[in-house]
Structure 1
Amino acid sequence: MLKIVAAILFLFVGVFEASAREVTIATWNLGWHMDLATVQRWVDACGKSYLEDPNTGRWHLSTDPQAKAGWDVPNAFDIDNWDSVNLPVCNVYFYKKVVRVNVDAYRKRQEQIANFISRSLPADIIAFQEVSGEQAVREILPMGGADYELCGFTGYKVQRLVIAWKKSLGTKMSCNVEDALSLPANPPEKRPRPGLSLTLNMNGATVRLLDVHLKSSCVSPFDNGKLEGGSSDCMTLQQQIDPLESWLERETGDGAKVVLLGDFNRNLWHELRDQRPARTDNSAPTGPRTSGALSRSLLEEVSDGQPAASTLQVVEEHCQTNEIGTLLCTLSEIRDLDTAESTLLASQNYLGCRNPVGLDHVLIGPGVQTAAPGEHVTIRGLGSTRQKDDGSDQVLAISDHCPLLARLNL
């Protein structure tokens, strides 16, 4: 009898191991990334001259000797008729001063990203943030994205989301914009970015991903980022909690394996170490909030264990750097790094990106296991912009974020 039970268990384990598949997933904010056709329009628009109306603070096209090039306008979205749906602000890249980007330099940046992905980002799925659209992603994937399928959207604002996955991985069941995360009831200037949901059929298993880029400037409860605080940024992020939790509870009801990833603009590790109750009225996050009660913890509110299928776990994060960098990464999950520590971790001998840790995360639901800790992948010198004093020989940073790579058993 024992031998029969052992044989059954052996077969069961074998079936589980055969069905589970290691999949490498990455999230990467590419920092106002555009396709080359959009780059040309952007360069042309930023190269024109604009004059500020002191009464309104708006800028308009002008030939006045006092007019400034778009590169020097503090916020191009304040320029009359600026195409904010498709064109970023002009002051994206800095080297001593704002870099007046040329198209050839941007094309070289794309080549550097493609080479980096090919050599250093062995991911089956990549969730991108801050890209102008699918074409912008095709242009930086190895071999022009020939081995990938894409899920993206148009409209909204210029910072969009795209998910790329290898064709051999599985077939698309759905690709949906999560409009509720953009807070459509808000006025246009106070609407953050939507989410992007992709559902794949992987060998008969349903795998669902949500790529997010949440409201910025409300990062840590330990440093002027109290979610319940009075800042408009934190209040906007507070508004995104309910639609994020609604997506999670709705999309886990069919037994799908769920991965939530992206640029949360929020240090979830600090939330986990914050000893205060998750809500200002001290109520449990499992029930509805009473009128006037605010959330202190996005993670505890969204992943409250009710229903059990919507429970999420933050994938452990390590840094792909030396011992000192690893120590700084560990410390960053406990407290805010000071300026010197942050600068060192962001330097090219360490991670190389201006926003090295604390913003990007991968969260997994029931039935998804980690094969290894996630890694903040170093981009070293590729995260630096430089040029000669006359503006020639431009080299543009590939991003101000480092990719976060996670190996999962799905």
Structure 2
Amino acid sequence: MGRAMYTARRAAWIAAASALVLGLSACGSGGGTSSGGVAKAGSSFTYWSMWRADEPQAQVLKAAIADFTASTGIKVNVDWIGRDIAKKIGPAIAGHQAPDLWDESNDVVYGSTASAGQALDLSPVLSQQVPGENVPVSSVIPAKYFAMLPKDPNGSNHYLIPYEVAVNGMFFNSADPAVKAAMPTAPTDWNGLLKACSALKAKGTSCIASEGEDPWTNELYFDYLLNGAGVDFNQLANDKSGAAWDNPAVLKAAEEVDQLVKGGDLIPGYDATKYPAQETNWASGKAAFYMDGDYVTSEVSKEVPATWQMSAMLPPTATTPDVGLFGFAIPRQAKNVSAAEQFIDFFMQKKEMSGIATTALNITPRTDIPAPADLADAQKLLSAPSVRLPFDGMAGDWSPKVLDENYLNLWHGQLTPQQFVAACKAAQVSYWQTQG
């Protein structure tokens, strides 16, 4: 996984959501219910997965499916669809061809099914027992992962049961002597980060590597700075008057971003390169920090030397980590709900879900499953009392139409902070005027 997947996934769920809405008048609202019943041995259900058959997550799920069938006698008819699932689920629901179970990221599940009332409320699953552990599912999946999700039309945020968690942050090699000298402890304010950057530059190391043409990873600095200032990004973006951009905290965040640009803290040439040029430079030690999702650790695992100690931190002042979830969902049209729910319960076992960490090398929502070594520090970020969606859940086409170009112009030093705020405010007013 990587930033390309995130971009493609967002576009896919917008398209899927449109297809779903267009088909609702023909297909109705579906009739599945979550009853907590027990399926009989010899029964079966259909499962569509976002993973390709050759991916590590699929290997983990295949093993769990084999264990589940051996334990219950319930057959799982699985289709390893891959990322195209985001394009197919909406039309499948509209055409009454929905699977009984599918998995994807929280944004795809919400955008392509839950937001239209087409995802089953899985609250009853949380009260069901994890097989062999004598505890309910709710005791092994922290409630904060549901609390951050937007609610569906029926007021539920339990339309997805996660088995994998991803966190966004600033990744770095804490074993690097230059980093140790420049940053003996994590900075607690923005000036502390700027001082660390200055110390790194004095030793001939760039502070931050940036894929200059990628708005999403670079906008995370702005997102986190607003979080530290107590500004909800989603509320900022949804202000149809644009007045929210007049908040002094918004301009201050833009000014702090501008300090990185004007201070020369971004790796030289960043504004004329595309992925993976600067990720490669970071992995080779030419810059100390790289902002991205935690998937970056696996992306560079074969590039970095064995002496690396992968660490992660949030930008100074940020209080709540940006998190994405991958997990199970059940369409309301599902015909075999009980069997699908039983598989969800089964996979919540520590012995089954552990493969997400040991084989797929990712973080699980279970706090008793240690993350792989390269993500141990990232897992510590998830110990925060609460978590949130990137950009506080702002999605759809707002970002490409309002923020992305203006932010890259700020990031490239072509707009002042004041000009950036004014440009975003004007673009936002125009955007909402076209939304009906």
Give me the TM-score of the superposition, normalised by structure 2. Answer: 0.24
- Greater fraction strand: 1
Which gives a bigger RCO, structure 1 or 2 (Cα 8 Å, sep 6+)? 2
Give the alignment's TM-score, normalised by structure 1.
0.25
